[in-house]
Amino acid sequence: MELAHVFTRRAPQYLLMGLVFLLWENTVGALLGDYRFEVRRTLWGVAFYAALFFAFGILSEILNGIYSRLHPQRRWFGQHLIWILTLLILFLWGPLSTRVLDRLPSLGFGIFQLQHLIWIGAVIAAGWIVNLRLGALAQSGRLREGFAFTVAFLGSILYLIISLKIGNRFFQYEIFSLSFLALQPVFLAGSLLLAGILIRAFTAPRALRRALVAAPLALSLAAAGAWQVLDRPPAGTPQAGRDVSSRPNVLILLYDALRADHVGALNPGTESLTPNLDALAQRSKTYSNCYSTSSWTFPAITSLLTSRDAGSLGLLQPRPIPDSLTTMAEVLRRHGYFTAALSANQYVVSQNHFDQGFTHFEYLLAKGPLQLFTPMTLYLISGPKVLVELTYQMGFWVTSVFAADHRAMTREGIKYLDAAGSQPFFLYLHYIEPHAPYASVPFHGKILDIEQLKTQDSFYHRHTKKVDYRSSRDKVGSFQHQRYTESVRSIDGAAGAMLQALQERNLDRNTIVFVLSDHGEEFMEHGGWGHINTLFQELVHIPLIVYVPPDLDLTLHDAPGGASIMDLGPTILDMVGIPETIPHADGLSLLRPRLEDRLPRMMTEGKSGLWCSVIKDSCKLIVRHPNRGEKLDTLLFDLRTDPEEYVNLYAERPALAGSLAVHLQGAMEGAMVPNDRQTRRLSPQEIQRLRALGYSN
């Protein structure tokens, strides 16, 4: 009864703590450009933090009651506040211990569970020891309630907020770096100074409470308004020193996981998601029969930059590409081009040697968590996957949390248009959208959509539940697909912004623009979700739009057998007039007529084994080499009569399958030869980013 009475008396204090914590956290976020008073995020933040600190208050009073019973002689005025700080440290710093274990090899999940139990016990024990020590000081009269104690408590709260927000924003998973650790005294001193100024300026308790609410609101409004101006793409001015007599510029806009059937210009008669790309396509050459060389990023980008078949080179899994391979950027740079690349995909990084030939290569970092507390981060041990959906619905989860979004990519890309100066430029922008988890657009449905939460739970547990996903895929995949289409609309807006930037600088008269993707995405069409694991059309059929300024007087030819992502290198070198070729290139220039059809080939290595595919006319052969010595799985489809690839014709037409298989033999042998180069070991921060993108292994 005494505990309930004390908690009832202090409950408003805990609720106020939650509000003040949220407001100051959002103030730091606004100063960093990560908070703009988004309505859903703000309202859910108030509700969630109030409930959270209410729960913290209950836990604090329970710990307080136990402590008081065991140490009645050490009771003192601020012990419940120490327990609040203990709980904040427990949950805010808890994930840091996981990052330490991520650095150690081959640890099972049980080790993580034990480690978290040790962490919880250690933090509570530390809080207990601090209370015992401060209780002794209070009993002896050396610690009194007043200015110094209030500054220390408020300063500690501000320090937790400032250090973690800046750490997440700029250091992310490198929080144990010497530079970040060296900043901690600065953060602590600044927090104590700010707390002292506030408490000295507002001595009355009621005035201080009002200031703790009003000050962050005013700062947040000012910072958010400033970022509205600063975040706009840099305005362009017409550039002198370049004319059509110089070599043309080249801009590649690659949108990760963009399906060909989601680009309006390639699918007339359907509702268009891409008005900007459609407008570009009207004055461009479009290829409705373009294919990637794989169903995921690493091998596809290897093929894009080197014009080689990544599968036949044994480069289906991420590792540094050999220095012996020549990239088109290397050739362009040798001939005077300013070469730059920006990537938002964790696999397209310099550690994998994709920076070969680029004067400037940059992997753009994510902004990190929007809020320090979210439903999905309260679990010290990995919690239910449905909490990701709940976090998204509350407005706490968008693309910029786990990768640089299209706004950041476009803004930085425009800067490189200006950085090239009078040199012709080759600029490659690798956008992460519309890649999973399809969060480029904030959730805008109901306040809380219970049906979607239930569906997401079913979706995440699809491998453990007995569900006929062919019959129920519309319900299971519709929410995910809807978000995917919203992401497609987002990248169309990004394309429009880049094209406008070219026009503002008079660069559109001399810049060749390629728009494509590295692979597609599956939404239960064949019982799966995402990409990597199969080679069906939804994964390997990609868009290709090539804009050639009229003044360049270049004519691109059709590719009757199918264009390939490998063709960009030879095509670009031909278009800009460079006689040098990429050694041993498998790609063909689209500027030259095809004397004979080159058959599109694709390979991937997923959970179910090695997949290889080839297409001739409308016939598509897929051969799967299963793991563990199982027999081959052979699929044959007629894409003209069965574009969804549901009817396997192999039993009816084995001879046709055999004739197509000949075209796969050499590539499959290359893919199955053990590669001398070892897969690169990922750093803890890379592991975390890939998990956020949906890669579980």
H helices present in 426-547, as ranges: 450-460, 469-504, 537-540
Give the SS3 label for residue 402. helix
Average pLDDT over residues 174-194: 91
Q: What pLDDT does residue 607 have?
A: 79
Convert the pLDDT of each residue in 356-382 to its tens digit: 999 999 999 888 889 999 988 776 555
Residue 57 pLDDT > 80: yes
pLDDT > 70 fraction of the chain, expressed in percent and rounded: 85
Q: What pLDDT does residue 111 have?
A: 53
Residue 394 pLDDT > 90: yes
Nearest to 134 by CA among 177, 198, 82, 84: 82
Residue 454 is encoded by which pair of tokens? 């239930």
| Strand 529-530 versus strand 522-523 pairing type | antiparallel
Lowest-confidence segment of 146-150, 515-519, 542-546, 660-664 by average pLDDT: 660-664
Residue 671 pLDDT > 80: no
Residue 260 pLDDT > 50: yes
Residue 697 pLDDT > 60: no
Residue 623 φ/ψ, nearest 5 degrees: -120, 125
Instruction: State the average pLDDT for the chain.
Output: 87
Q: What pLDDT does residue 444 have?
A: 83
Cα–Cα distance measured from residue 466 to residue 458, given in angstroms and rounded to the nearest whole number:
10
Burial grade of 676 (CB within 10 A; 0-12, 13-18, 19 or more): exposed
Q: CATH number of the domain at 249-366+403-598, please? A: 3.40.720.10
AA letter at 249: N
AA letter at 691: R
Q: What pLDDT does residue 626 have?
A: 78
Q: Which helix (H) or strand (E) holds 291?
A: strand 285-291
Q: Alpha-carbon dihedral of residues 532, 535, 538, 540, nearest 10 degrees?
A: 90
DSSP type of residue 550: G
Q: What pLDDT does residue 528 have?
A: 81
Q: What pLDDT does residue 466 have?
A: 47
Return the domain boundaries, the chain: 2-230, 249-366+403-598
Q: What pLDDT does residue 464 have?
A: 46
Cα–Cα distance measured from residue 294 to residue 601, given in angstroms and rounded to the nearest whole number:
8
Nearest to 515 by CA among 469, 549, 565, 466: 565
Cα–Cα distance measured from residue 486 to residue 274, given in angstroms and rounded to the nearest whole number:
10
Q: How many CB atoms lie within 10 A of CB 394?
A: 23
Q: What pLDDT does residue 235 have?
A: 64
Convert the pLDDT of each residue in 441-453 to its tens digit: 888 888 888 888 8
Convert the pLDDT of each residue in 193-229 to its tens digit: 999 999 999 988 899 999 999 999 999 999 999 988 8
Average pLDDT over residues 155-177: 88
- Measured CA to CA in angstroms, residue 128 lies from 6, 87, 596, 616 at distances of 20, 12, 79, 73
pLDDT > 90 fraction of the chain, expressed in percent and rounded: 63
pLDDT band at residue 245 using 50, 70 and 90 as cut-offs: very low
Residue 613 pLDDT > 90: yes
Cα–Cα distance measured from residue 493 to residue 441, given in angstroms and rounded to the nearest whole number:
12
DSSP type of residue 697: -
Cα–Cα distance measured from residue 23 to residue 631, given in angstroms and rounded to the nearest whole number:
61
Residue 5 pLDDT > 70: no
Structural contact between residues 534 and 271, judged by C-beta atoms closer than 8 angstroms:
no
Q: What pLDDT does residue 402 have?
A: 85
Q: Residue 609: which region, alpha, beta or left (left: phi > 0; alpha: psi -120 to 50)?
A: left
Q: What pLDDT does residue 479 have?
A: 80
Lowest-confidence segment of 100-114, 533-547, 579-593 by average pLDDT: 100-114
Convert the pLDDT of each residue in 107-130 to its tens digit: 554 555 677 778 888 999 999 999
Q: What pLDDT does residue 594 have?
A: 80
Residue 145 pLDDT > 50: yes
AA letter at 87: L
Start-to-end C-alpha separation, the chain: 51
Listed in sequence order, the residues at least 6 apart from 157 whose beta carbon sits closer than 8 Å to its beta carbon are 20, 21, 24, 85, 88
Give the SS3 label for residue 340. strand
Cα–Cα distance measured from residue 556 to residue 281, given in angstroms and rounded to the nearest whole number:
14
Give the SS3 label for residue 417. helix
With vertex at residue 55, the alpha carbon angle to CA 54 and CA 61, rounded to the nearest 5 degrees, is: 90
With vertex at residue 153, the alpha carbon angle to CA 20 and CA 49, rounded to the nearest 5 degrees, is: 30
Convert the pLDDT of each residue in 417-437 to its tens digit: 999 988 999 999 999 999 988
Chain centre to alpha carbon of residue 47: 27
Residue 680 pLDDT > 60: no
H helices present in 32-93, as ranges: 39-70, 79-92
Cα–Cα distance measured from residue 550 to residue 564, given in angstroms and rounded to the nearest whole number:
24
Cα–Cα distance measured from residue 501 to residue 510, given in angstroms and rounded to the nearest whole number:
13
Query: Which residues are 621's β-sheet partners?
Result: 614, 636
Average pLDDT over residues 451-464: 64
Cα–Cα distance measured from residue 507 to residue 503, given in angstroms and rounded to the nearest whole number:
6
Single pTM value for the model: 0.89
Cα–Cα distance measured from residue 651 to residue 130, given in angstroms and rounded to the nearest whole number:
75
Q: Alpha-carbon dihedral of residues 461, 453, 433, 395, nearest 10 degrees?
A: -140
DSSP type of residue 551: G
pLDDT band at residue 672 using 50, 70 and 90 as cut-offs: low
Structural contact between residues 530 and 289, judged by C-beta atoms closer than 8 angstroms:
no
Lowest-confidence segment of 45-59, 213-227, 232-246 by average pLDDT: 232-246
Lowest-confidence segment of 29-43, 406-420, 435-449 by average pLDDT: 435-449
Give the SS3 label for residue 512. strand
Cα–Cα distance measured from residue 61 to residue 71, given in angstroms and rounded to the nearest whole number:
15
Q: What pLDDT does residue 259 have?
A: 97
Residue 102 is encoded by which pair of tokens? 């991520």
Structural contact between residues 242 and 510, judged by C-beta atoms closer than 8 angstroms:
yes
Q: What pLDDT does residue 244 have?
A: 41
Cα–Cα distance measured from residue 357 to residue 578, given in angstroms and rounded to the nearest whole number:
15
Query: What HEC string does 620-678 produce?
Result: EEEEEECCCCCCCEEEEEECCCCCCCCCCCCCCCHHHHHHHHHHHHHHHHHHHCCCCCC
Q: What pLDDT does residue 243 have?
A: 46
Q: What pLDDT does residue 118 have?
A: 81
Residue 136 pLDDT > 80: yes
Nearest to 296 by CA among 519, 516, 515: 519
Average pLDDT over residues 649-659: 92
Cα–Cα distance measured from residue 87 to residue 153, given in angstroms and rounded to the nearest whole number:
14
For the CA atoms of the chain, what is the radius of gyration?
29
Q: What pLDDT does residue 351 have?
A: 94
